[in-house]
Structure 1
């Protein structure tokens, strides 16, 4: 277990630009939602493709709206996330491997450091004017509570076990 966690400043938006693991609507296997090159939109609104390696199901998304990104479903196709586990009467979830790693590192650490907000030139700025919160800062209180550490880490291990080899 790591003694120290330093918030890397990851954002929800950053996680959405990576692979999102979901349940395939056809076979219920593990499928991936990936950014797709070309087409209209960029970043959050870049076209996405759903791919299932188990059954070959493919579906494309292009739009100017995404769903909520604080629920255990992907914000593009609205499919249930693959990485979900019951924990403390709630659902612990992650979009993909990096999100799961970040949760595990944060929860396992005995000391947790927040990022120091800076302006574009590296100068510190007051927290209130720092803008959007990081993914770690936006975690619910029940995940941040150290007394839940062991139970949350068991849920993370259950989710990781569904991934198989990387």
Structure 2
């Protein structure tokens, strides 16, 4: 187990320009790089305009896109933008010593809800992250290189 995590002020935008979403057609995980959705599983292909990317689900024209990496955890929703973001959260939660540079109030870590930061939730959060990773693997997820 990693004992130390250093928050260097990483922003959510630094995890990549894509989100892992559920394909609107076959429900398998795909990486969405705006403005086009392309599913490698079923061939779904659509260009979307005026996207508003919010947490967990985001309506775009007549299609509602759902983030694939979300699960109920500790009476809340654990959410990650993509596999890179999920791995970052896993590293943070696993660490027993969490260090932050002062005055970095826009970092991903500074924006996390208290229940994720609370050490008493560590084992349940790590279990949920493992479930999300297994869900990706079992559904044929291929990681985007972006």
Q: Give the TM-score normalised by the residue count of structure 2.
A: 0.82
Please name the residue that 1:20 is paired with.
Answer: 19
Partner of 1:10: 10
Aligned pairs, number: 137
Shift of 1:66: 2.3
| Equivalent-residue separation in structure 1 for 2:59 and 2:122 (angstroms) | 28
Q: Shift of residue 74 of structure 1?
A: 5.0
Runs (5+) with no aligned partner, structure 2: none
1:54 alignment counterpart: 41
What residue is the counterpart of 1:73 in the other structure? 57
**Relative to 1, partners in 2 of residues 1:24 and 1:136: Cα closer, same or farther, differing over 3 Å?**
same
Distance in 2 separating the partners of 1:49 and 1:74: 14
Whichever structure has more strand as a proportion of its residues is 2
State which structure, 1 or 2, has the greater radius of gyration over its C-alpha atoms. Answer: 1
8 A contact 1:67–1:78 mirrored in 2: no
Deviation >2 Å, runs of 4+: 12-15, 65-68, 73-78
More deviation, 3-12/77-86: 77-86
User: Which ranges of structure 1 fall in alignment gaps of 5 or more residues?
Assistant: 35-46, 117-126
Taking the aligned partners of 2:53 and 2:20, their CA distance within structure 1 comes to 16
2:130 alignment partner, SS class: helix
Shift of 1:9: 2.0
RMSD of aligned C-alpha atoms?
2.2
The answer to whether structure 1 residue 163 and structure 2 residue 136 are counterparts is yes
Whole-angstrom distance in 1 between the partners of 2:58 and 2:97: 31
Contact map agreement 1:21 1:33 (CA 8 A) in 2: yes
TM-score normalised to the size of structure 1?
Answer: 0.73
Higher percent of residues as helix: 2
- Higher RCO by CA contacts (8 Å cutoff, separation 6 or greater): 2
Counterpart in the other structure of 1:92:
78
